[in-house]
Amino acid sequence: MPFEKVTNKTLMERRQAAVPRGPFNVNPVFVARAEGAKLWDVEGKEYIDFCGGIGCANVGHNHIKVVDAVKKQADQFLHTCWHVAMYAQYVHLAERLNELVPIPETNMTAFFNSGAEACENAVKIARTHTGRQAVVSFERGFHGRTLMGMTLTGKVRPYTEGFGPFAPEVYHLPWQPFFGQPQGRADSDVASDAQAALEDFFSYRTEAENVACVILEPVFGEGGFYPVHPAALSILRKVTKEHGILLITDEVQSGFGRCGRLFASEHYHLTPDMMLLAKSLAAGMPLSAVTAPEEIMNSVKTGGIGGTYGGNPVACAAAHAVLDIMEEEKLPERARKIGAKVMTVFKKLATTYDQVRNPRGLGAMCAIDIVDPETGCGSKDIANKVLAAARESGLLVMTASGCVLRTLMPLTITDAELDKGLKILSKAIDTVS
């Protein structure tokens, strides 16, 4: 057989023939190597990465300490199944997370594979602990692609379209009273709107006494990178406590330094009842966690939660390295500096181009809306042209909700790489204006 040169084009043709269209791809690029905040495709082209594996690479690609930890564990054993033969790595990692999460209790942690599995198990735990059935999330929220995960997710296309029927006793709060408040609006007015939304919800959707938990992302991920308003969150915490409802924070995308603190919840001085973790927890290795006080976690009887691969020892080793790197390299602090620089550029873009609106963010979790200047509505077409122009110039960036450009660059990115990436993005926007 003659030698066939491997290119992005030839691999894309093979991908289209062998893999269904359901799993989407942001960029028509096949990676050969990754390091820090850069990727190289199979054709040798270099890219600055503003996607970070959709928030999995906060410590950067192939960080030497993560790679060494994975190699060391792989030399010892790859898998025994925690339920069959236990190992110290799982216990030690649980102990570390129990101390790190902003829940000042005697905590416990269980490990799973993905953010969706963390959500699924959090619901099981909350229902067992409270003896209630209803679960509440938010419009625009994203919590995974399993049956419960996509039912919790507050967006139809592409996440739930055609996949019904869905899990019962799941309800959605409106997003705007909590996340969509205009800048500069008085806290008292925001709080009043949030209170009214909750009263209306419990009057017309489901009674508070039937609700086991409310799940929210402190900053929307797929929903557009909107941070929750502090005044609205304060009301939500107050009301959930009054009614014995567990408040669960989904920090799958916002956690591990992304928002300028180890967890985004810390910005709000929030004490949730349960926290969900994944993505950058293990630098892209499949690992997720549910952490909550002992009395909540031990509500479930032995054997009630678990999974064959949950807490895999190689993934646990990667997570230990991540926690060390977060502290040693002060990555939450670095995220604040990255975010400040990104927001300076985003605000300038918003005042320069009619296609750019609403710069926002928390730490290095920043976004801008790309809109049709004539209608002011979000434009997926223009956003995709920006992505293509940026990619052509060596920057990988992605959207949320189709028309929101979001930043998930590794927090280990150098100043020179960050500046270059922002210049490429600015030029791409200028090109399509």
Question: What pLDDT is recorded for position 111?
Answer: 98
Domains and CATH numbers, the chain: 8-59+330-432 (3.90.1150.10), 66-328 (3.40.640.10)
- Count the Cβ atoms, other than its own, within 10 Å of residue 354: 12
- H or E stretch at 214: strand 211-216
Cα–Cα distance for residue pair 428/350, rounded to 1 Å: 14
Structure tokens at 412: 């280990």
pLDDT in tens, 163-174: 989 999 999 999
User: Per-residue DSSP letters for 76-120?
Assistant: H-S---TTTS--HHHHHHHHHHHHHSS--S-EEEEEESSHHHHHH
Cα–Cα distance for residue pair 385/388, rounded to 1 Å: 5
Checking if the pLDDT of 1 tops 50, the result is no
Check if the beta carbon of residue 248 is closer than 8 Å to that of residue 275. Answer: yes
Mapping DSSP onto H, E and C, the string for 143-174 reads: CCCCHHHHHHCCCCCCCCCCCCCCCCCEEEEC
Checking if the pLDDT of 245 tops 90, the result is yes
Check if the beta carbon of residue 208 is closer than 8 Å to that of residue 202. Answer: yes
Check if the beta carbon of residue 256 is closer than 8 Å to that of residue 262. Answer: yes
Question: What pLDDT is recorded for position 224?
Answer: 95
**Whole-number mean pLDDT of the chain?**
96
Range of weakest confidence among 178-187, 203-212, 272-281, 387-396: 178-187
| pLDDT level of residue 157 (50, 70, 90 thresholds) | confident
Checking if the pLDDT of 359 tops 80, the result is yes
Segment 103-117 mean pLDDT: 97
Structure tokens at 410: 């590794």
Checking if the pLDDT of 344 tops 50, the result is yes
Bridge partners of 290, per DSSP, are 110, 276
Segment 26-40 mean pLDDT: 97
The beta strand positions in 251-331, using DSSP E, are 274-277, 288-293
Q: Most distant CA pair in the chain: distance in Å?
A: 73
Task: Show the CA angle centred on residue 411, arms to residues 405 and 417, nearest 5°.
Answer: 75
Segment 130-157 mean pLDDT: 95
Cα–Cα distance for residue pair 372/403, rounded to 1 Å: 10
Segment 221-234 mean pLDDT: 97
| pLDDT level of residue 2 (50, 70, 90 thresholds) | low
Check if the beta carbon of residue 27 is closer than 8 Å to that of residue 37. Answer: no
pLDDT in tens, 297-333: 999 999 999 999 999 999 999 999 999 999 999 999 9
Question: What pLDDT is recorded for position 5?
Answer: 84
pTM of the predicted protein model: 0.95
- Count the Cβ atoms, other than its own, within 10 Å of residue 320: 19
Instruction: Look at residue 4 and give its three-state secondary structure.
Output: coil
Q: Note the Cα 319 to chain centre separation in Å.
A: 16
Check if the beta carbon of residue 332 is closer than 8 Å to that of residue 323. Answer: no
Cα–Cα distance for residue pair 270/240, rounded to 1 Å: 13
Question: What pLDDT is recorded for position 183?
Answer: 83
138: DSSP letter: E
Cα–Cα distance for residue pair 285/288, rounded to 1 Å: 9
